[in-house]
Structure 1
Amino acid sequence: MKKIELSEVKNIYEYEKIREDFRRYIIDLKKKRRVEVGNRVSLVFENRDTVLFQIQEMMRAERMVDDNEIKFEVDTYNELIPERNELSATLFIEVDDPQLLRPVLDSFIGLDRGNHVYLEIGNKHKIYAEFEEGHSKDDRISAVHFIKFKFKPEQIEDFKNFENEVKIVIDHPNYKAFSIINPETRNELIKDLESN
C-alpha cells in the first residue's frame, strides 16, 4: 500500500474545513475495520485513510505547523500502513475501570511474545501476528500494540475465498478468545491485500 507523502497532509487551517466530514467517514470506516476478540481485546485494521486521519488529528491537537516536525510524524505513522502482502492493525487491550487497569494489563504480559495472536484461514493456515517492539517489558505491557500479519501468496488466495472461514485467535494462558471476521470486514481487508 502506498505510503502517505507530506504533500497529502493538509495544514491545520485547511484540515479544519473538512474535518467533520472526514471524521464521520473515518468513524464509519473504522466500524468496518474493527474486530472484537472476546470482551477485552479489539483490533482496528489500518489503511492509508485511518493513518492519515491519525496524522491530521495529531497535528491539530499539537498545533503542528513546522514541515520537519510533520514529516517526522508522517514517517513514523507510515509504519502502520501495510506493506505488500500484509495486513496491519492496532490491537487494544480494553479496560473501562481505572482500578482494574494494572491487574488486567498484567494478566496480558507475554501476549506480544510467542505465537499468541494469529489469523486462522480455514483449517489451512495460521498467520502469526508480528508485534512492534517497545510496548512491553518483562513486568509491564501497554494497552495499545501495533501488529502485522504477513501473508504468502497462497494464503491471500485462501483469505479471498469465502468458502474458508477466517478467524482472529488469541491463545494466551490468561486470555483465550476468537472472532470470525465478518464478510464486510473481510472485504475491506481484501482491498488492503489487493492494493499493493
Structure 2
Amino acid sequence: MQLTGYITPESLMSLEAYTKWRKVHKPEVIAHRRLRSVQLGEHLNLQFESETTIRYQIQEMLRIEKVFEEEGIAQEIEAYAPLLPSGSNWKGTLMLEYTDIHERKRELARLIGIEDRMFVEVEGSPRVYAIADEDLDRENDEKTSAVHFVRFELTPAMRAAVKAGAAVKLGCDHTHYPAHTQMAADTLASLAGDLK
C-alpha cells in the first residue's frame, strides 16, 4: 500500500493486487489500527484514522462489494477521504460499544450530545473539543448514534508540543459519561506523524 498523502483512484490497488497484498499485510494494518485506538472508560472507543486506515477501509469496501468501475471507486473515496487527517488535526471514528441491546438503547438515549463533549488536551494548552459529524447529523431528540466522526483541530503551538513529546489527554465531559485518559506514548508517536 503506497501512502501518498491523498487518495485518488489511480493510487488504489486493483482488486487482484489488493487481494494478494491483503493476505500478507492485514496483520500489520490491524496492529496499526490497534495502536491508534484509545479506549475511554468501559464503553467508548476512539479510532484515530490515518491514511493507512482509510486506504485499507476503501480497499476493503471495494473488495467486499467487488467494485471496479470508476464511478463506484470514486463514491468510496468520496465517502471515506474526509476522514483523512490534513496535517493540522486528528480525525477519528467514535464508537459507543454496548453488547447488551437494552443497555445500549438506554445509554444512547442518555448520551445525546456526547460527540460534542469529546476533547483532547495537549499538556500546557486548553482543551480542544471535537467538531463532530460534519457530513450529517447522527442523532435525534430520542437518541444519539453508536458511531460518530470527529475532528480535533490543533493550533500550531499544540502541534509543535505534541511533536516535541508533550503528554495528551483524551476525555469526555458529558454529564453521563465523564472520563479521561492519558494517551499512551506509542499511540501519541503515531498521532504525531499526522501533524505538520
- TM-score for the superposition, normalised by structure 1: 0.91
Structure 1 CA distance for aligned equivalents of residues 24 and 130 of structure 2 = 33
Measure how far apart 1:91 and its partner are. Answer: 0.7
Structure 1 CA distance for aligned equivalents of residues 11 and 105 of structure 2 = 39
Q: Please give the residue correspondences for 1:168-187 in structure 2 after superposition, counting only pairs within 5 Å.
A: 168-187=170-189
Q: What is residue 89 of structure 1 aligned with on the other side?
A: 92
Identity across the alignment (%): 28
Letter paired with 2:163: K
Letter paired with 1:126: R
Q: What is residue 98 of structure 1 aligned with on the other side?
A: 101
Q: Secondary structure at the match of 1:137?
A: coil
**Residue 136, structure 1, aligned to residue 139, structure 2:** yes
**Residue 37, structure 1, aligned to residue 37, structure 2:** no
Q: Secondary structure at the match of 2:108?
A: helix
* C-alpha contact (below 8 Å) 2:115/2:150 kept by paired residues: no
Structure 2 CA distance for aligned equivalents of residues 175 and 93 of structure 1 = 11
Q: Please give the residue correspondences for 1:7-86 in structure 2 after superposition, counting only pairs within 5 Å.
A: 7-86=10-89
Measure how far apart 1:22 and its partner are. Answer: 2.6
Structure 2 CA distance for aligned equivalents of residues 93 and 173 of structure 1 = 15
Aligned-residue Cα RMSD (Å) equals 1.5
Q: What runs of 5+ residues in structure 2 fail to find an aligned partner?
A: none
Structure 1 CA distance for aligned equivalents of residues 104 and 125 of structure 2 = 37
- Indicate the structure whose relative CO is greater, using CA pairs within 8 Å and at least 6 residues apart: 1
Q: Secondary structure at the match of 1:193?
A: coil
Cα displacement string for residues 156-191 of structure 1 (whole angstroms, at most 9, x for unaligned residues):
1222333x4310010101101111011100000110
- In the TM superposition, structure 1's runs of 4+ consecutive aligned residues that sit over 4 Å from their partners are none
Structure 2 CA distance for aligned equivalents of residues 144 and 99 of structure 1 = 17
Q: Secondary structure at the match of 2:114?
A: coil
* C-alpha contact (below 8 Å) 1:125/1:155 kept by paired residues: no
**Residue 121, structure 1, aligned to residue 122, structure 2:** yes
Q: What runs of 5+ residues in structure 1 fail to find an aligned partner?
A: none
* C-alpha contact (below 8 Å) 1:92/1:145 kept by paired residues: yes
Cα displacement string for residues 120-152 of structure 1 (whole angstroms, at most 9, x for unaligned residues):
112422111110132112222111111111111
